[in-house]
Chain A
Amino acid sequence: MKLSLFDWFNRHNGWFRILVFSISLIPAALLLLDFQRNQLGFNPFEALITRTGFWAMVFLLITLAITPLRRWLNYLCKLAKLKYGKRLADWNFLIKARRMLGLFSFFYLCWHAGIYLHLEADWSLSWFLQDLADRPFLSAAAVAWLFSCLLAITSPQLARKKMGRHWRHLHRLMYPLCVLAVAHALMEPRTTEYLAVAFAIITAILLLHRLLARFIKSFYRPDDTGLEAKR
């Protein structure tokens, strides 16, 4: 039997993860390169904060998209009567990279928050509290950051084993986290509005998938969460 790429990735998912890891580092590398070469444009502060925010958001949405993507790809492959990819398990290698993608979102988020705290708030607590009061979109950001920290801290396999089923409950924070992140982007007055709207639409579609899967019987599959992703 000839092996498809999926099969190969499913058996050697280490390679897939190395690939995802290297691709995920590219935005950070480009940012550092531009910073080092003074190529951040006329308003470097704005460039730093928007670019890190953009990538944190993109990785967050990719993480959120893994489960629906697996379902949709499986469905499409069935429709197209392809030889491979018809089984949900054919796409399991996507789930193996999910935690890493989530942590990359947290990585870019830390840059984003660090840039704000260092270059704008100057590590002054009184300033930060004043800014929270002045700018409502920062409260959304602060709560989202707390949620992300919780998720990142509890991401190792060990924490997952120790927490048992609480882990699953805690990691449902991902959904409010995405809503908060989108609210933050929509309320931020200076981002390109279309981009924030695009993020909002994508998030809405991905969350809608969950709602359908949760409440409509014919959409529900027990292996859909990816937690039971075994061959």
Chain B
Amino acid sequence: MRFQFPQPKPSEITNEHLFKTRRSLIKSLGVGAAALTFPNLLQAVDKCPSSGIQIPDPGLPITPKRAATGYNNYYEFSTDKEAVRILAQALTLSPWQISITGQVEQPLQLDVDEIRKQCEEERLYRFRCVEGWSMVVPWLGVSLSDILKKAKPLSSAKFVRFSSIVNLEEMIGQRRPTLEWPYTEGLRIDEAMHPLTILATGMYGQSLPPQNGAPLRLIVPWKYGFKSIKAIQKIELLEQQPVSSWQAILPNEYGFYANVNPKVAHPRWSQSREVPLGQTKKRPTLMFNGYEEQVASLYSGMDLSKHF
């Protein structure tokens, strides 16, 4: 039997970004002291608005970090889930620019660090892979709507397309034509603006490891994991519905919406159960991955077995 060190909860671990900027934190403490004397200054320091949404409790223990960062689907590196962790270390993460273009008033070029400086907050989400496994991960991230609003989307923007990168030097899985590179994904604008949708920059209180999509990935907790595109470089707002990578290659198996739905089976397997990583027994999968209350209204009147 091996001894296991007691693991602190992710929320107890000091955020890596906060740790690195602890000196400015001390400075801001000084500001806080000043704010005691000038109370209205305090509001200026607290610039993060609350997302105003009740995030449901995942109802499951947090997945061990070792599993969440050691069992990854990232075909840019390998189709072997456990090889990705090693191969992805080759990716150069900095500098990393993200562009927001298309149907926007003000096209933007953002640095990842700028996004990190936004209101990075912890979100404990369920994550359900289309293959039938799931996890519960404390992500760190910013609300996607906050970022998109900076570019001032036009009313003609109906969809959002996200693209990752092509880097044959470092992403060795891209040398094989498993998918069309770069990997792209899409959301409807109301899905992208939904308060549950975040751009994650970290997990388990630390920056995102390369195998989990560093430096920046999408997290849409009520959709299958492949929608949550990793290593985003381009965000385009479009008038027409884009075609995502998986949809392009296997349109009868992977739809544009890819909402977690236990009642709609994948053509080759059932989606009604899932196995949480690290556990042996399967559990029932929940409608919209347990976020039905928050997102069901987005799809009212739609035939979900047709728009899978």
Contacts and interface: CB of A to CB of B under 8 A. Distances in A.
Interface of A: 40-46, 48, 119-120, 122, 127, 130-131, 134-135, 187, 189-190
B280 interface: yes
Interface stretch (B171-179, B203-211, B269-277): B269-277
Nearest to A44: B280
Name the residue in B71, B82, B269 with the highest tally of chain A Cβ atoms < 10 Å from its Cβ. Answer: B269
A45 B38 CA distance: 59
A120 to B, nearest CB: 5
B270 A45 contact: no
A134 B71 contact: no
B33 interface: no
Contacts of A40: 280
Instruction: Tell me whether chain A's interface is mostly helix, strand or loop, or mixed.
Output: helix
Contacts of A122: 281-282
Nearest to A118: B281
Contacts of A135: 265, 268-270
Given A131-B270, A134-B270, A135-B268, A46 B275 contact: yes
Name the residue in B81, B280, B281 with the highest tally of chain A Cβ atoms < 10 Å from its Cβ. Answer: B280
A41 B279 CA distance: 10
B278 interface: yes
Given A45-B279, A48-B280, A120-B273, 13 more contacts: A42-B70, A42-B81, A42-B277, A45-B275, A46-B133, A119-B275, A119-B280, A119-B281, A122-B281, A122-B282, A130-B270, A135-B268, A187-B268
Contact of A120 (B70, B81, B282): B282
A189 B280 contact: no
Given A119-B281, A122-B282, A43 B275 contact: yes
Contacts of A120: 273, 282
Contact of A45 (B66, B82, B272, B281): B281
A196 to B, nearest CB: 14
18 contacts: A40-B280, A42-B66, A42-B71, A42-B81, A42-B277, A42-B278, A43-B133, A44-B278, A45-B275, A48-B280, A119-B281, A122-B281, A130-B270, A134-B265, A134-B272, A135-B265, A135-B268, A187-B268
Interface residues of B, number: 21
Given A43-B133, A122-B282, A189 B277 contact: no
Name the residue in B71, B133, B275 with the highest tally of chain A Cβ atoms < 10 Å from its Cβ. Answer: B275
A36 to B, nearest CB: 10
Contacts of A187: 268
A158 B294 CA distance: 65
A88 B26 CA distance: 87
B270 A42 contact: no
A190 B70 CA distance: 18
Interface in B245-291: 265, 268-270, 272-273, 275, 277-282
Nearest to B131: A190
Contacts of A131: 270
Nearest to A132: B270
Contacts of B273: 120
A208 B81 CA distance: 37
B67 interface: yes
Contacts of B275: 43, 45-46, 119
Nearest to B268: A189
Contacts of A41: 71, 82
Interface in B19-46: none
10 tightest Cβ-Cβ pairs between the two chains A and B? A42-B71, A134-B270, A189-B268, A42-B67, A45-B275, A134-B265, A44-B280, A120-B282, A119-B281, A45-B280
